[in-house]
């Protein structure tokens, strides 16, 4: 650029500016601003004048922005604002060397503006565009300053009492400044500091700096070498400040554990000890302060309460105050709110704290629970899950009763609904605990990964059950006044369905330890099942003390119990097995006593499971394994004999056997004999069945349904065939195959046979199972006839005889065969097959064909017992003659039966 032209341009600018400013109006402001900016750049020495002009512009712009809200229309205002927006970026970007000039200018301007506008609300002022621009410039330039210059600027701002907000804003934008502001603010005296710190409060990093400043101050006080007298008022000052300012309090208490470490507390005790009491540190004001702190402070206080008398008193004071304050419904107490937020911590402490801590926290929890029902529920749930000793459970009782009995004004109309409400909460709590415990069991646990599972490790569900059991025990002991209302019992009763579902779930777990090797599931599930069953066992389901449980839940529990029963059958330990099955029986008895539906379901489930799923446990033998393909009969028969054919030799050999089972093997005695009925498991099952039928007249009804069920389960297609016995020929021609199948099924299942016997005992239930008896009789007739020409001691014959004995004994027991016929049982072993066939056909089959065994034959006597009067149902001679002839023929051997069977008969007939 040419020197002269540059020179003239500069002087022209200068001229314009100087005379423009002195004759300024708002219209020319943008022009002048532009000139000013260019002057600033080319002629830095003119900065004083230019900045002075700028500050006038800013002040006017602030005026405009504040006074008029709709200044868009005003051209003057617009030009001012335009100038401001021109100045802003320029001054922001001047750079580091300018900052020492710009920053103080900004600060002074801010002070001027805020002092002039001290009557304008801060928010209006802050939202004004020019102020925002100005603050931007300030922030930008402050960051470029060195530490001392920064400090000077901040000090300038802090000295003005009106521009605390500006400090707040600037600091918010530039975090580094907080470190400067915070200590200075603390030095201002309580009220001013509070106002200023409130400005800082919204700024997240501010808290950290403030904390540091506070801690520096604090640690100065308690340092060993500090002079106690001179620094004594710092702590009261801090307390005072904290009582006035939330931010200070928050900064103080944020990491209170670190601030007040044990060492510090000891030192503090030394500093404070002995001297006069501080003003502002009296217990009452401390309690006020503590009520605004958070839960961690409380925990700290609790920790120190062990060692310091003062803390104990303070704690008691605090708790009483809290309890009092809680009576005002609309009051929110920060300590309680924070405790509610940190409730996990508090609950944990409740579990593992010392006694003082536990009791204090329980009181606190009562207050929290009173205010927030959801916490009440979760507290109950938590304690039910994690409580491991009586003391904690006692605390739970205390919390429950305490919360429910918090002061309620007497004039409230809904005391009863209130109780209902709490009862509902407790129920929900129990349900949650149940659900959570089940869920916890499926979570991966460290002890399983590390492989250091404690020996007595129990599942969470188990613990939960133990806790519930204990509570129920306390409740039923009637010695605990707080449990008079049977809150827990009712809650458990209400969650019967879930308990049932849980039992079903746990009993259904057949776990592969490899699969769940990291969760509680790798533990044996049986202890949990036992515990669950015991809980159920303790629940009152009679309906005497509360509403009857719903049908749905009863059914659920029944199903679960059946499952549990079968699991118990598999228990290796005999005592556990017996105890478990007894519990199951008790449960079934309780459940089925009141509900026929439950009985039906129970019986069906028991029988079905015993016959088809768990049949092995009851003696049913495994199906013979399918033979290897080579052994298939069809293949064997296709193989031809020796290659070299001799004359007259067999050209081929056919193997005999059962199709599908290969060549007939030499059957052992073991396999051929009937599986025994009298086994422990069978007896236990029968016990369970009987338990289902317990009650007045229940046995007959139950047995009836058992009989029907047996028919259904063995062969559903004869369910509806009715009672009559057809002609023997009819079976031979039509139904023999089905009957063979039915008999095989019957024989294979000891459960079935045992159940038939029970039915026989419970007359007249057996009538309804006559299809099964019929099948046995028909097949016996058929088979024995076929065996006539064989030798008499083969295993098959033995088996036939055993079946015969059983058939006869069952029928006799069920009074289907009246007096003389009933003695066939004793007669049978002595008879030859030929004779047996005759007896069976003439005496059994024909008799029952002509006298259909139906419940109608049985009369009910006064005691409710059904029986068939032997005197009224003498079988005609037609059916007994065969017996008589056989006995007469073999009188030498069977003579002792004759008088028993026939003499009385004759005597009577002679009468």
Residue 144, interface with another protein (CB under 8 A)? no
Q: Which stretch binds another protein (CB under 8 A): 41-49, 248-256, 595-603, 621-629?
A: 41-49
Label residues 864-897 b or e (16+ Cβ within 10 Å = b): eebebeeeeeebeeebbebbbebbeeeeeebeeb
- Which residue, 140 or 559, is less far from another protein as judged by CB? 140
Is there binding between residue 484 and another protein (CB under 8 A)?
A: no
Q: Which stretch binds another protein (CB under 8 A): 93-101, 605-613, 644-652, 893-901?
A: 93-101
Among 21, 299, 502, 756, binds another protein (CB under 8 A): 21
Nearer to another protein, 7 or 258 (CB): 7
CB of 11 to another protein, least distance (A): 6
Tokens coding 118: 């001290």
For the CB of residue 48, give the shortest distance to another protein in the complex, in Å. 4
Q: Which stretch binds another protein (CB under 8 A): 10-18, 220-228, 836-844, 877-885?
A: 10-18
Nearer to another protein, 47 or 432 (CB): 47
Minimum CB separation of residue 37 from another protein in Å reads 13
| Interaction of residue 478 with another protein, rule CB under 8 A | no
Of 22, 481, 638, 863, the residue at the interface with another protein (CB under 8 A) is 22
Cβ atoms within 10 Å of 444's Cβ, excluding its own: 11
Sign of CA dihedral 8, 9, 10, 13: positive
- Alpha-carbon distance of 98 to 40, in angstroms, equals 10
CB of 244 to another protein, least distance (A): 44
Of residues 904, 893, 897, the one with CA closest to residue 883 = 897
Report how far residue 566's alpha carbon sits from residue 529's, in angstroms, rounded to the nearest whole number.
12
The CA-based angle 177-179-180, given to 5 degrees, is: 65
Q: Whose CA is closest to 402, among 495, 511, 481, 307? A: 481
Nearer to another protein by Cβ, of 19 and 324: the residue is: 19
Residue number with CB closer to another protein (112 or 830): 112
Binders of another protein in range 42-71 (CB under 8 A): 42-49, 52-53
**Does position 127 bind another protein by CB under 8 A?**
no
Which lies closer to another protein via its Cβ, residue 18 or residue 509?
18
For the packed helices 129-144 and 75-92, what is the interaxial angle rounded to 10 degrees? Answer: 10
Find residue 519's DSSP bridge partners: 444
Rg (CA), the chain: 49
In the bound complex, what is the minimum distance in angstroms from residue 16's beta carbon to another protein? 10
**Of 2 and 871, CB closest to another protein:** 2
- The one segment of 14-22, 210-218, 302-310, 675-683 that binds another protein by CB under 8 A: 14-22
Does the protein bind another protein through residue 17 (CB under 8 A)? Answer: yes
Closest separation in Å from C-beta 142 to another protein: 18
Closest-CA residue to 901 (of 831, 819, 842):
819
CB of 45 to another protein, least distance (A): 3
> Of the listed pieces 92-100, 140-148, 270-278, 749-757, which binds another protein according to CB under 8 A?
92-100
- Class of residue 710 by CB neighbours under 10 A (exposed 0-12, middle 13-18, buried 19+): buried
10 binds another protein (CB under 8 A): yes
Give the residue, chosen from 14, 509, 597, 802, that forms a contact with another protein under the rule CB under 8 A: 14
**Hey, is 74 helix, strand or coil?**
coil
Q: How far is the CB of 56 from another protein (least distance, A)?
A: 10
User: What are phi and psi for residue 109, nearest 5 degrees?
Assistant: -65, -45
CB of 374 to another protein, least distance (A): 51
Task: Output 49 or 797, the one with its CB closest to another protein.
Answer: 49
Q: Pick between residue 12 and residue 860 the one whose CB is nearest to another protein.
A: 12
- For another protein, the closer of residues 8 and 127 by Cβ is 8
Does residue 41 touch another protein according to CB under 8 A?
yes
At 410, list the tokens. Answer: 């007497």
Q: Is 18 in the site for another protein (CB under 8 A)?
A: yes
| Residue 206 beta carbon to another protein: minimum distance, rounded to whole angstroms | 30
Note whether 673 binds another protein by CB under 8 A. Answer: no
Count interface residues toward another protein (CB under 8 A): 28
Which residue is listed with tokens 């008193």?
A: 313
Q: How far is CA 862 from CA 309, 623, 759, 763, 867, in A?
A: 80, 48, 21, 15, 11
From the CB of residue 412, how many other CB atoms can be counted at a distance below 10 Å? 9
Residue with Cβ nearer another protein (4 or 332): 4
* Chosen residue from 31, 34, 85, 98 binding another protein by CB under 8 A: 98
Q: Are the C-beta atoms of 569 and 612 separated by less than 8 Å?
A: no
Label residues 261-296 b or e (16+ Cβ within 10 Å = b). Answer: eeeebebeeebbeeeeebebeeeebbbebbbbbbbb
Contacts of 266 (CB under 8 A, 6+ apart): none
Closest distance to another protein from the beta carbon of 39 (Å): 9
Q: Which is nearer to another protein, 27 or 42 (CB)?
A: 42
Q: How near is the Cβ of 54 to another protein at its closest, in Å? A: 11
Q: Is the CB of 46 or the CB of 813 nearer to another protein?
A: 46
The answer to whether residue 416 forms part of the interface with another protein (CB under 8 A) is no
d(CA 303, CA 289) in angstroms, rounded, equals 18
Q: Is 11 in the site for another protein (CB under 8 A)?
A: yes
Q: Report CA dihedral (13, 18, 22, 24) to the nearest 10 degrees.
A: 20
Please report where in the chains the tokens 């003239």 appear, as a residue.
8
Cis peptide before 885 (omega within 30 of 0): no
Question: Rounded to whole angstroms, how far apart are CA atoms 498 and 557?
Answer: 9
User: Which contiguous run of DSSP H or E holds residue 657?
Assistant: strand 657-658
Q: Return the number of the residue (53 or 463) whose C-beta is nearest another protein.
A: 53
Verify binding: residue 92, another protein, rule CB under 8 A.
no
Among 69, 70, 72, 97, binds another protein (CB under 8 A): 97
In the structure encoding, which two tokens stand for residue 791, read together?
Answer: 């030798």
Q: Which of 612, 606, 610 is nearest to 693 (CA)?
A: 606
Taking the complex as a whole, the smallest distance from the CB of residue 17 to another protein amounts, in Å, to 7
Place of tokens 């049949």: 615
Given the rule CB under 8 A, which of 7-15, 152-160, 460-468, 842-850 is the region that contacts another protein?
7-15
Is beta strand 662-663 parallel, antiparallel or unpaired with respect to 859-860? unpaired
Could you give the count of Cα atoms lying within 13 Å of 660 in the half-sphere of its Cβ? 2
Closest distance to another protein from the beta carbon of 28 (Å)? 15
Q: Which bin fits 280, alpha (ψ -120 to 50), beta or left (φ > 0)?
A: left
Residues of this chain that interact with another protein (CB under 8 A) are: 1, 3, 6-7, 10-11, 14-15, 17-19, 21-22, 41-49, 52-53, 94, 97-98, 101
């Amino acid at each position: 650029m040419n020197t002269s032209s540059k020179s003239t341009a500069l002087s022209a600018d200068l001229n314009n500016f100087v005379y423009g400013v002195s004759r300024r109006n708002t219209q020319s402001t943008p022009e002048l601003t532009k000139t000013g900016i260019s002057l600033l750049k080319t002629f830095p020495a003119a900065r004083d004048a230019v900045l002075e002009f700028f500050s006038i512009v800013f002040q006017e712009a602030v005026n405009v922005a504040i006074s008029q809200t709709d200044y868009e229309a005003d051209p003057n205002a617009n030009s001012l604002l335009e100038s401001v927006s021109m100045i802003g970026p320029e001054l922001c970007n001047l750079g580091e060397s300018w900052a020492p000039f710009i920053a103080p200018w900004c600060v002074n301007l801010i002070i001027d503006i805020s002092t002039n506008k001290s009557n304008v609300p801060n928010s209006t002022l802050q939202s004004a565009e020019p102020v925002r621009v100005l603050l931007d410039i300030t922030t930008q330039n402050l960051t470029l300053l060195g530490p001392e210059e920064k400090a000077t600027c901040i000090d300038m701002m802090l000295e003005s009492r009106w521009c605390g907000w500006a400090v707040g804003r600037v600091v918010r934008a530039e975090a580094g400044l907080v470190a400067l502001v915070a200590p200075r603010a603390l030095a201002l005296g309580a009220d001013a500091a509070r106002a200023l710190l409130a400005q800082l409060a919204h700024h997240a990093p501010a808290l950290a700096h403030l904390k540091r400043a506070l801690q520096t101050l604090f640690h100065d006080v308690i340092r060993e070498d500090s002079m106690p007298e001179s620094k004594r008022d710092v702590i009261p000052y801090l307390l005072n400040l904290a009582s006035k300012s939330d931010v200070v309090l928050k900064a103080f208490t944020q990491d209170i554990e670190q601030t007040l470490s044990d060492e510090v507390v000891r030192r503090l005790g030394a500093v404070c000890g002995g001297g006069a009491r501080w003003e502002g540190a009296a217990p009452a004001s401390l309690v006020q302060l503590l009520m605004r702190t958070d839960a961690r402070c409380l925990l700290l206080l609790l920790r120190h309460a062990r060692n310091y008398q003062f803390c104990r008193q303070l704690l008691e004071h605090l708790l009483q105050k809290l309890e009092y304050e809680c009576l005002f419904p609309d009051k929110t107490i920060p300590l309680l709110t924070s405790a509610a937020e940190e409730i996990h911590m508090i609950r944990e402490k409740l579990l593992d704290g010392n006694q003082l801590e536990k009791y204090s926290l329980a009181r606190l929890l009562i207050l929290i629970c009173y205010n927030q029902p959801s916490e009440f529920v979760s507290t109950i749930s938590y304690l039910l899950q994690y409580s491991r000793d009586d003391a904690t459970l006692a605390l739970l009782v205390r919390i429950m009763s305490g919360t429910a009995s918090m002061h309620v004004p007497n004039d409230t109309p809904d005391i009863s609904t209130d109780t209902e409400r709490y009862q509902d909460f407790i129920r929900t709590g129990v349900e949650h605990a149940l659900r959570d415990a089940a869920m916890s069991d499926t979570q991966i646990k460290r002890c399983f990964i590390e492989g250091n599972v404690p020996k007595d490790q129990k599942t969470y569900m188990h613990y939960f059950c133990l806790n519930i059991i204990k509570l129920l025990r306390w409740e039923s002991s009637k010695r605990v006044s707080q449990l008079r209302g049977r809150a827990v019992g009712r809650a458990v009763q209400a969650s019967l369905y879930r308990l049932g579902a849980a039992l079903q779930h746990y009993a259904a777990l057949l776990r592969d330890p490899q699969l769940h090797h990291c969760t509680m599931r790798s533990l044996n599930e049986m202890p949990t099942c036992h515990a669950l069953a015991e809980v159920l066992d303790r629940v009152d389901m009679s309906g005497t003390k509360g509403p009857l449980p719903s049908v749905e839940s009863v059914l659920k529990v029944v199903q679960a119990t059946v499952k549990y029963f079968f699991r118990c059958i598999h228990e290796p330990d005999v005592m556990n097995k017996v105890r478990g099955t007894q519990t199951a029986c008790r449960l079934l008895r309780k459940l089925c006593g009141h509900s026929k539906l439950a009985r039906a379901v129970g019986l069906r489930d028991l029988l079905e499971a015993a016959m088809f799923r768990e049949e092995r446990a009851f003696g049913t033998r495994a199906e013979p394994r399918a033979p290897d393909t080579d052994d298939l009969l069809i293949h064997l028969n296709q193989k031809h004999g020796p290659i070299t054919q001799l004359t007259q030799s067999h050209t081929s050999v056919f193997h005999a056997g059962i199709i599908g089972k290969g060549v007939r093997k030499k059957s052992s005695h073991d396999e051929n004999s009937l599986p025994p009925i009298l086994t422990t498991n069978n007896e236990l099952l029968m016990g369970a069945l009987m338990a289902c039928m317990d009650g007045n007249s229940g046995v007959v009804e139950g047995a009836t349904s058992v009989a029907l069920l047996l028919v259904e389960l063995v062969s559903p297609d004869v369910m509806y065939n009715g009672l009559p016995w057809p002609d023997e020929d009819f079976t031979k021609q039509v139904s023999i195959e089905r009957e063979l199948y039915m008999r095989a099924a019957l024989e294979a299942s000891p459960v079935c046979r045992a159940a038939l016997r029970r039915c026989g005992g419970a007359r007249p239930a057996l009538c309804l199972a006559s299809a099964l008896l019929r099948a046995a009789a028909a097949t016996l007739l058929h088979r024995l006839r076929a065996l006539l020409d064989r030798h008499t001691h083969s295993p098959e014959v033995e088996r036939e005889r055993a079946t015969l004995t059983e058939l006869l004994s069952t029928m006799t027991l069920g009074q289907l065969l009246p007096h003389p016929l009933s003695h066939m049982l004793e007669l049978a072993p002595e008879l030859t097959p030929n004779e047996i066939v005759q007896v069976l056909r003439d005496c059994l089959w024909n008799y029952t064909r002509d006298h259909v065994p139906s419940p109608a034959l049985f009369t009910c006597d006064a005691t409710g017992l059904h029986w068939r009067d032997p005197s009224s149902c003498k079988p005609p001679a037609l059916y007994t003659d065969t017996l008589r002839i056989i006995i007469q023929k073999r009188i030498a051997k069977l003579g002792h039966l004759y008088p028993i069977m026939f003499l009385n008969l004759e005597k009577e007939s002679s009468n």
